[in-house]
Amino acid sequence: MTHSILVTGGAGYLGSILVPELLALGHKVAVLDNFMFKQNSLAHVCANPNFSVVNGDARVEATLRPLVKAADVVIPLAALVGAPLCAKDPVGATSINRDAQLALLGMLSKDQRVLMPITNSGYGIGESGKFCTEETPLRPISLYGQHKVEVEAKALDRGNAISFRLATVFGMAPRMRIDLLVNDFVYRAVYDRALVMFESHFKRNYIHIRDVAKVFIHGIDRFETMKGRPYNVGLSDANLSKAELCEKIRQHLPSFVAVEAPIGEDPDKRDYIVSNERIESTGWKPGHSLDDGIRELIKGYTMIRNALYGNV
């Protein structure tokens, strides 16, 4: 069965992978994005007659409402993503990550379906050696995590929604993000061959960008049996500390050196291990390992370098 799907923020890191996959399955996909990063990440799908795009702001009701009305499935990806960016612009983060999302949910009829991306950083600092499940109390520390937790509660309250509590995402995409932890560490390993870590014992879970796209498609296909619940989405064999992640990267780049900083702290406070048993029990399985992602990133970084103001 195919759907009319609205993806806000659909030209971003996740959308640039997800939207082509949805179109390939025959869905009709409308994207709303403000293209704030000047990306052309969906250029390759413009020839598809099932694809439409609006250059606009998800906070503007007059722009959003007609797009919502035409959709039977909504995937709200538009956001300022990550704790550092939200701390830098708390007013923008509040208006986009919370207010606009709550307004969108208020526009929906009871029959329209929502698949909501949420960060598992909502778990904050977990108990040592104890897995966070979907029943674990949420204790978000960052503004980004606080907004996501609030929006998730509102979405699930309406009943016709699924939320995916995403682990830290990694992997190459047409709209690349080098700031994500695995992507950042591999980039530094490739170009600097060295890294200084803060709080290297902090653990978190990881997931490949293509497996995130895959879980949204999984949720669309199994919506009636999955709706009304949150799902952790990550690699069950990748609950790793930053130091352990560096060891993984060193297996692929032996010259890489990582050291612990004697002072300072991680700006994105999260330290927990996560159980992905609930989503796996629905039949979803990831297709890309952490090692697959590291190999992919090494290849990708031979093509791109973040050197806007350098000649080499």
Cβ distance 274 to 205 under 8 Å? Answer: yes
Q: What is the identity of the amino acid at 246? A: C
Q: What is the pLDDT of residues 126-182, one digit of tens each?
A: 777 789 999 998 888 889 889 999 999 999 999 899 999 999 999 999 999 999 999
188 token code pair:
């530094």
Q: At what angle do helices 181-191 and 290-300 cross, to 10 degrees?
A: 50
Q: How far apart are CA 39 and CA 286, in angstroms?
A: 28
Conformational region of residue 295, where left means phi above 0, alpha means psi within -120 to 50, and beta covers everything else: alpha
Cβ distance 10 to 115 under 8 Å? Answer: no
Cβ distance 71 to 30 under 8 Å? Answer: yes
Radius of gyration over alpha carbons of the chain, in Å?
A: 19
pLDDT at 267 over 80: no
Question: Could you tell me which residue, 121 or 6, shows the higher pLDDT?
Answer: 6
Q: What is the pLDDT of residues 71-115, one digit of tens each?
A: 999 999 999 988 888 889 999 999 999 999 999 999 999 999 999
Cβ distance 214 to 166 under 8 Å? Answer: no
In the 8-state DSSP scheme, what is residue 96? I
Q: Give pLDDT, residue 224.
A: 97
Q: How far apart are CA 48 and CA 26, in angstroms?
A: 10
HSE-CB at 225 with a 13 A cutoff on CA atoms is 8
Question: What's this model's pTM, rounded to 2 decimal places?
Answer: 0.94
Q: Which residues contact 197 (CB under 8 A, 6 or more apart)?
A: 242, 243, 246, 258, 259, 260, 261
State the DSSP string of 279-296: HHTTT------HHHHHHH
- Name residue, tokens 């919502």: 68
pLDDT at 266 over 70: no
Which domains are seen in the chain, by residue range? 4-170+206-235+274-286 (3.40.50.720)
